[in-house]
Structure 1
Amino acid sequence: MRSVTGKTAEWTEMAKDCVAFANAVGGTLSIGIEDGQTLPPHDQRIPPDLPDLLRRKLAERTVNVTALPNVATAANGGQYIELTVPRSTAVASTTDGRYYLRVADQSKPVTGDDVLRLASERAALPWETQTSLNVPRSDAEPSKLQVVVAALRASDRVKPSVKEKTPDELLDHYQMSQGPYLTNLGILCVGQRFRRAQLTTAPVVQFIKYDEHGQKVNKLVWDDYLLNPMELIEAVWQEVPDFRESYELPDGLFRQIVPAFDEVVVRELLVNALVHRPYTQRGDIFLNLHPDRLEIVNPGLLPLGVTPQNVLHTTVRRNEHLARLFHDLRLMEREGSGYDKIFEVLLSHGRPAPELVEGHDRVQVTIRRRILKPEIIDFIAKADEAFQLTQREENDQAPGLECHRHEEGHCS
């Protein structure tokens, strides 16, 4: 807990946290509750002048940060301050020229070239909510809107009060429209084909198959903008016959059928590529199939603050509203457990962990086709049946597999 009273007041640290929240997606700090506790002392009272002092001290130490302190009363009668920091419309910093970004539960410093990158990613309005094309909301494609509305109403992740909304109200609720216009997100998901093409950064997917000599032997392209991101996932899975290949493994007197590529893994990787790509940058999504591996190549870099080493433990949402829509449609887990699921499935099938590499303008994920430890498939299945393992426990139970991701000297 940061102290904001007396001689030990940590205004500099408080300013750093506020800058970090403002440069991320905003957040709320609870002041007056000790670390490890959920409630303030029952007899705690906030001095009447403290909110104004807090607002003034932070304004003196930050640039482009809005601090909104509010006195709240907990269930036990104790008072504390809820300090809300909205997402900044410009790059936030401390008055001495330091930049920070909130990554998971830490305020990370931003230095060097990453400062320019932070500035370039900080549009005054997120790409998803922009209406610069002035597409009327009535221009939504009826069939696509009907499918999305039906799926949302059938989802157990959507509140009953939201399901009762009209299709027009659902467009507003999910930031697919604003006033009389469809937003970029609305055009992407329920817009007509030619409108989606006008976005210029709507996703194009290319599947390329290579033989053992590195020569192209097949190519499929989804570049006509006919499909929205949700439909693209289904189309790619259904139209690439190689994804449904399987082979046999000896299992005692019997043989076990194992898929060449698990459907859950392929779909999760496609979801990650579509949801987390920078829609302000052009570039196709490539699925490069080699005899021994599948490579998914996405344009752009990982979100600022996320690295190949911490991707399992860090959640940064680049496209917040698209992620929310995908979550409510049951296409993804919003809190970043997609890679956990990929690890779980790959390791339970005796395959190596995925390899994540960040280039200067792209991110590549590689999954291997070969099973390194066939006996692990039966081992994990029996352990799961007996102990109902969690995802992380299943990852830990897979001995002898090479892990390509390390952090602080330990295998993740």
Structure 2
Amino acid sequence: MEINNPGRLPIGVTPANILHTTVRRNDKLAKVFYDLKLMEREGSGYDKIYETLLSNGKQPPETKEGEDSVKVIVRKKIIRAEIILFLNRINTEYPLNQKEIICLSLIAQYNSLSALELAKLLGLTVQGSIRNWLGRLPEYNLIKTHGKTKGTEYFVNPKILQKTKFRGKTTLKGIENHRLQELIYKDLSTYPNSSINDIHERIGKEITLRKVKTLIDHMRVSDEVQSTGLGRWTRYSIIDTTING
């Protein structure tokens, strides 16, 4: 379904930040509708669309701004049907607010998300504001993390998944660093002189390229991996420790 509205977005609102930026185009009309209980004065309708779609295992709405109009695309396809039952069970046990439901739905839909990925999906420019959106999810032990700062990964607590019988797909996206490092080592042992893109392609593209690159750099510092070439022509191989005895 496509919804077209004449006129551009209000000043300060863009398709990227529309989820958390509220600007009333007509303050007097908004007050009339609020008094008639037809809308919330602050205008949380777009947030409600996000919450409803994600809670039903669908994609978030897509907003496109043209020269003199705004189009919102709502897709009916269910990406992950198991999320519907999962969130229904969660909502019966935990008093989650709208932001928490949106965050939990996104993380469950993607299996895990890095801090940068989550910030981008929420249209956030300040990483610290992610905590405001996560709210009590870490406190309720619904969300777990590993890594620090920009490398932080968010994923649903496996015990919660088991408890709610969430039947999601198993991916490598939330793999721990030491296990990913072993995977990289095994891959380079089999395919020496490989580019970063080749390594990324083989071990699983669901893992972020940035994470793979960070671990390879760490392995270079610890003298496990060596590199040749520069830039896009850089190739990586395991250092043969048997040469010197």
Could you tell me the TM-score, scaled by structure 2's length? 0.45
Q: Which is strand-richer, 1 or 2?
A: 1
Could you tell me the TM-score, scaled by structure 1's length? 0.27
Structure number with bigger Rg: 1
Q: Which is helix-richer, 1 or 2?
A: 2
The higher-RCO structure (CA 8 Å, 6+ apart) is 2
